[in-house]
Amino acid sequence: MPRALVTGGAGFLGSHMCDRLLAEGYEVVVFDNLLTGSADNLSHLANEPRFSWENTDVSNGLSFPGEVDVIYHMASPASPVDFATKAVEILRVNGVGTYNALELAKAKGARFLITSTSEVYGDPLVHPQTEDYWGNVNPIGTRGCYDEAKRYGEAMTIAYRRYHGVDAKIVRIFNTYGERMRLSDGRVVPNFVGQALRGDPITVYGTGQQTRSFCYVSDLLEGIFRLATSEHAGPMNCGNPTERTMLEFAQEIKRLTGSASEIVYEPLPTADDPKQRRPDITRMKEWVNWEPVVSLEEGLTRTIAYFKGKIDAGAK
Ligand code: UDP
């Protein structure tokens, strides 16, 4: 039975990765310190004999007994709200944590995949973003802790590939949403959906003309799994090119929730907020024969039902 280690496996994307790997016949071990993840995301696996998890911080060292075939290094806070309060942890887990995970991959002869981000392109001057674009990042801006941490993590990954022959891969994740996102996460999908469901004002930041392209979680996981099991190293964009302005997005969520909430404008929390973002997914199509199949309406409908369940159960 192949054995996988998922760092950050109690997080939104990490926990879905665990489900996917278990369905593929893997034994799965998770390391997570629950900084932004939640044990609730793994509670449905409590009776799964091929699954185990440990509360540990991969930035403090990684000891793993026995064999491991593949390491998915997914541990990192990822919401812009976390950039203000968890900057050092973000830099550490993508720097030292990535180093620790790559050392483990080298020692065990394991494959390695780091979940990087569209934030490596910063506030992009090339649109849509192709993988060969180097980006437009302010290293000392409010998003710098995340953008530079992931850029450093990519550089570390490539160094281990080049100099140590580790079969190390990079995927760049664009905005993704779905079940198990934290309601209080601060990102636009939980914010807008939570506000719409409660009848609170929907807070559009800035003019609302900035764009994002949203991918449903199962589509993203399919792309990542295909890259991990392919002969390609990346970097490969993974996302859905369906682009919306934030104002259009607020209107869409209002419609899908049937909410009477008013849309209000608030100042942009950061001057570095990217003005536009859309993945060029040519590589994803050509390399791993994949493109998203879940429409925004369908994905949002499922996500709204999930958040409604949480709110009805008393979640804040
Ligand atoms: N945003 C917004 N209202 C909110 C939360 C976010 O208008 O309540 C905007 C934010 O300014 C950004 C976009 O939505 O332009 C996406 O923000 P998010 O925090 O989800 O992730 P980002 O793509 O910026 O990392």
What is the CATH classification number for the domain harbouring 127? 3.40.50.720
Q: What pLDDT band is residue 316 in, cutting at 50, 70 and 90?
A: confident
Give residue ranges with CB within 6 A of ligand 1. 80, 175, 187-188, 191, 203-205, 210, 212, 246, 268, 273
The average pLDDT across 111-122 equals 98
Token code pair at residue 98: 């990535």
Distance 45 CA to ligand 1 centre (A): 32
Which residues are CB-contacts of 84 (< 8 A; sequence separation ≥ 6)?
Answer: 142
Ligand 1 pocket test: which of 76, 83, 185, 246 has the largest number of ligand atoms within 8 Å of its C-beta? 246
| Average pLDDT estimate for 62-69 | 94
As a whole number, mean pLDDT of residues 94-110 equals 98
**Closest-lying ligand 1 atom to the alpha carbon of residue 268:** 11
Residue 287, domain member (yes or no):
no
Residue 16 and residue 113 in one domain: yes
Together in a domain, 49 and 96: yes
Of all protein residues, the one whose alpha carbon is nearest to atom 16 of ligand 1 is 188
Distance CA 79, CA 142 (A): 12
What's residue 244's pLDDT?
97
Count of beta carbons in the 10 Å neighbourhood of residue 279: 27
Same domain assignment for residues 223 and 254: no
CB neighbour class for 123 (10 Å; exposed up to 12, middle 13-18, buried from 19): buried
Report the separation in Å between the CA atom of 266 and the middle of ligand 1, taken as the mean of its atom positions: 11
pLDDT band at 166 (very low <50, low <70, confident <90, very high): very high
d(CA 198, CA 308): 9
**Could you give the CA distance from residue 20 to residue 215 in angstroms, rounded to a whole number?**
17
Rounded mean pLDDT of 70-81? 96
Same domain, 170 and 257: no
Res 314 pLDDT > 90 = no
Do 27 and 3 touch, CB atoms closer than 8 A? yes
Looking at the fold, whether 78 and 122 belong to one and the same domain comes out as yes
Distance CA 282, CA 264 (A): 37
CA of 206 to the centre of ligand 1 (A): 10
Q: What is the DSSP letter of 269?
A: S
For 34, 40, 134, the CA distances from 316, given in Å and listed in that order, are: 18, 15, 39
Nearest to 28 by CA among 12, 40, 16, 38: 16
* pLDDT score of 270 more than 90: no
Mean pLDDT for all residues in the chain: 97
Q: What is the mean pLDDT of residues 131-135?
A: 97
Is residue 184, in this structure, part of any structural domain at all? Answer: yes
Can the peptide bond before residue 235 be classed as cis, meaning omega within 30 degrees of 0?
yes
Is 288 contained in some domain? no
Q: Is residue 120 part of a domain?
A: yes
Q: How far is the CA of 174 from the centre of ligand 1 (A)?
A: 13
Q: Is residue 282 part of a domain?
A: no
Q: Which of 173, 211, 212, 247 to mutate to test the pocket of ligand 1 (most atoms within 8 A of CB)?
A: 212
Q: Could you identify the atom of ligand 1 that is nearest to the CA of residue 80?
A: 19
Q: How far apart are CA 9 and CA 258, in angstroms?
A: 34
Give the residue, by CA position, lying nearest to ligand 1 atom 23: 175
One domain for residues 28 and 169 = yes
Same domain, yes or no, for 252 and 168?
no
**Minimum CA distance residue for ligand 1 atom 18:** 187
pTM of the full predicted structure? Answer: 0.97
The side-by-side arrangement of strands in the sheet containing 111-117 is 51-55, 27-32, 3-7, 70-73, 111-117, 168-173, 236-238
Whether residues 89 and 187 fall in one domain: no
pLDDT tens per residue, range 281-296: 999 999 999 999 999 9
Residues β-bridged to residue 264: 203
Range of the domain at 143: 3-176+215-238
Contact criterion met (CB below 8 Å) for 63 and 31: no
Residue 271: the pLDDT is 81
In this prediction, residues 94-121 reach a mean pLDDT of: 98
Q: Are residues 20 and 154 located together in one domain of the fold?
A: yes
How many domains are there within the chain? 2
**289 occurs within a structural domain:** no
Q: Which residue CA neighbors atom 3 of ligand 1 most closely?
A: 204
- DSSP letter for each residue of 29-61: EEEE--SS--GGGGGGGTT-TTEEEEE--GGG-
Q: Is residue 170 domain-shared with residue 24, that is, in the same domain?
A: yes
Q: Does residue 118 sit in the same domain as residue 248?
A: no
Q: Which residue has the tokens 């593949």?
A: 70
Residue 258 has pLDDT above 90, yes or no: yes
| Residues marked as catalytic | 146
pLDDT of residue 214: 98
Is 44 among the domain residues? yes
Counting residues of the chain whose pLDDT is more than 90, the rounded percentage is 97
Same domain, 196 and 128: no
Q: Per-residue confidence at 269, pLDDT binned at 50, 70, 90? A: confident
Q: Output the pLDDT for position 10.
A: 98
Minimum-distance ligand 1 atom for the alpha carbon of 269: 11
CATH code for the domain of 257 = 3.90.25.10
Is residue 29 one of the residues assigned to a domain? yes
Q: Which of 187, 214, 300 to mutate to test the pocket of ligand 1 (most atoms within 8 A of CB)?
A: 187
In angstroms, what is the span from residue 187 Cα to ligand 1's centroid? 6
